[in-house]
Structure 1
């Protein structure tokens, strides 16, 4: 989803806000495993308060890393098979993928800087 915000008519600077995109089992391979750029996936549940905090952070990151990183979300209550495939036992969990392989993970709620450091590590050649 993209939202364009016009802040000042005189000094028009478009801001593009992206959000993490929901992904299901049907789209998993094409969206995550076959991606040409690194992918971040947050596993969450609607009832989980800490998940909402992490989701907001990941939405910010999706905007800041647009074009360098794709961000997706998986609802573990509705897409249990994906959670089982990656042995997700609790939420929130963030997994990083590069070249179709899981390469890093962050378990629990962390400050934004923690996620950014993990992303920067994955983005290095």
Structure 2
């Protein structure tokens, strides 16, 4: 079972933009192979850093408004939101240690 919460167009503002912690958002789709490879890595990061960040998932097929708003054209796309703004981005499936390095400022 995933540690990441599913977020929708309607819950995005409350779950992500108004969060008091940084939020790692995984933009993904059911049919995306690299997205399925990345999911357990993000679950590990969610478990390892639960006190520092929230990790959520946005299905781009089910939530086209939020995907369009942030210009998601390639998935998996992992964005970090802090204070309601995009603070970091990572495109494509990457190993856990690479993601942890890219997002170290938010996980520390």
- TM-score bin (small chain): over 0.9
CA deviation string 1:3-27 (max 9, x = no partner): xxxxxxxxxxxxxxx6111000111
Give the unaligned 5+ runs of structure 1: 2-17
Equivalent of 1:55, from 30, 39, 61?
A: 39
CA deviation string 1:24-67 (max 9, x = no partner): 01111111011101100000000011001111100111000012
Query: What is the number of equivalent residue pairs in this alignment?
Result: 108
CA deviation string 1:92-121 (max 9, x = no partner): 000001111101000011111111112212
Q: 1 or 2 for the larger relative contact order (CA 8 Å, sep ≥6)?
A: 2
Equivalent of 2:57, from 73, 95, 100?
A: 73
Give the unaligned 5+ runs of structure 2: none
Task: Give the corresponding residue for 1:20.
Answer: 4
Task: Give the corresponding residue for 1:8.
Answer: none
Based on CA coordinates, which of the two structures has the bigger radius of gyration? 1
User: In the alignment, is the contact (CA less than 8 A) between 2:52 and 2:106 conserved in 1?
Assistant: no
TM-score for the superposition, normalised by structure 2: 0.94
User: In the alignment, is the contact (CA less than 8 A) between 1:96 and 1:105 conserved in 2?
Assistant: yes
TM-score for the superposition, normalised by structure 1: 0.82
Q: Are 1:94 and 2:78 counterparts?
A: yes
2:21 aligns to what SS in structure 1? coil
